[in-house]
A = this chain, B = another copy of it.
Amino acid sequence: MNEAAPQEFQEWSVDQWFNHEGQLRLADLRGRVVALEAFQMLCPGCVTHGLPQAQRILETFSKDEVAVVGLHTVFEHHDAMQPHSLKAFLYEYRIRFPVGVDRPSEKGIPETMERFKLRGTPSLLLFDRQGILKAHHFGAVSDMQIGAEISKLLSEEND
């Protein structure tokens, strides 16, 4: 599912990172296309489809051109998916790209999920070189489609 995306820059909201030292902001990735894989560690569709696809994005494109980032955005079973559990999950599934923990809010829906209006997991968000959200997929989408969309963003002017 591809939905109309807002046209202004919005930053994600993350305090804690795995596979990355210090903070990592979307703004820091300016100049590269960014693929953000939003997932929950106990979501079967994320384990079967979303995360392996993120891994294939990493293997297909140059790291200088495309940044792959995970977002652990927990909106259910909070007790079962705390950061210490996520750490074990990332180790066992050999996920080596940066993964941020979406900042919890009192409402149960974490902040980035709310800000980008995610409908659930897995969701794949593609940002252009200026950090503007250009594609927003909820659920399964084919590798060929994602390859085409990323390539289209890469071919746009880098100004």
Contacts A56-B142, A85-B85, A155-B152; A92 near B147 (Cβ below 8 A): no
A159 to chain B, nearest CB (A): 16
Point out the residues of chain B lying under 8 angstroms from A7, CB to CB.
none
> CB distance B152 to A56 under 8 Å?
no
> CB distance A84 to B79 under 8 Å?
yes
The verdict on A80 contacting chain B, using a C-beta distance below 8 Å, is yes
> CB distance A43 to B144 under 8 Å?
no
Point out the residues of chain B lying under 8 angstroms from A56, CB to CB.
142, 144
Knowing that A79-B85, A85-B85, A152-B154 touch, tell me 7 more A-B residue pairs with CB under 8 angstroms: A42-B92, A47-B47, A80-B87, A81-B85, A81-B88, A144-B146, A148-B148
